Structure 1
């Protein structure tokens, strides 16, 4: 099995790949880095919207490593996104040239963390079966705003056999630090999603007869808030290309 340190070394060397299924048992995280003068607003935004934005750690301004990883948040993710005034200006495998001493990095929980638990419980995870990135959608559900930060909730979707939905809810509810229980089960239209075959991020997943689309809060929500709120600079992971930490998934299981 590839260790987190080995995975991060491969990403630093230039490997670009979605990280679903990588390093089973180890926690993956979303990244959003914002200027210091917006850090409090974002922390409050996350506190008010804990399902899509569960914060695992906050680094000091300019810091690039912390207790969750022996690495560098500027180089150890397979692919990054750089936003200026809400516009995506670069998608690159290394953001050292964009980094500033006033940037505060937030590590936000990722639903990839509970996928091993789903599999162990006999719940299929379709994007892993199909070797694809998880499908993610911007919704019509608004997050509660905080200061300068506002935007819609983003969700990830996994099609679940109808008879296993209750099990999937119970399994994921034990991981509140990595999005926890679903935010919606069933009709995508109730979230303002018109076509499951056209995700806003990631890849479409096959929904088979007898399966129900189940939606979890997604750590791309901060990027949707960046697009709407238009901060001077923001650095984030490319959706589905996560920071693999040294923390164990079991650290975040409760009950």
Structure 2
């Protein structure tokens, strides 16, 4: 299986190409997206470059994995629209990878619980607690909580998997003994997105490109403002 992995849930994002044989998912090439604003003009060239690295074209793809949320509203829309378009054009199977599961993957959650956390703005965060390596058949519930409330849930000898920008916001509020996992610059690794995408496809949990939508886990600020205005009217 020739797989393309796309993550645009964070500030930058990444893409990767991988070859999957049975349970083995081998990343052949990967790259972070440019730090400039994410648009189709930056994402599509990055995908094209990764495909060229392994001498593939879009028609060679048999699987596409994309992070589906939570994350940046704009970023998720961009990644999912791109993945849907490529899947529709190539006939590749499509997998929607939960962002927090990809963030927690490979963090040794079997040794101690791992909280995967993403900034939700407004002094809130998205979070999920993993007590084992993420299993696509049984993933924990995504929580949206105030950062102070979330910090109160974490306990000593638990670990935190979160991008550096989010860690900077919550570090001083963490209880003593919580391990902040190093090396997470922006979001999930493309290898984790590829691995979980391959697992979803192997389990038969593919998504129709026409049906895939981002999982925001909250309304946008504009939607909340409109709802508040409607309730007052």
When the two structures are superposed, what TM-score results if normalisation uses the length of structure 2?
Answer: 0.28
Q: Greater helix share, 1 or 2?
A: 2
> Which of the pair has the greater relative contact order for Cα pairs under 8 Å at 6+ separation?
1
When the two structures are superposed, what TM-score results if normalisation uses the length of structure 1?
Answer: 0.27
| Higher Cα Rg, which structure | 2
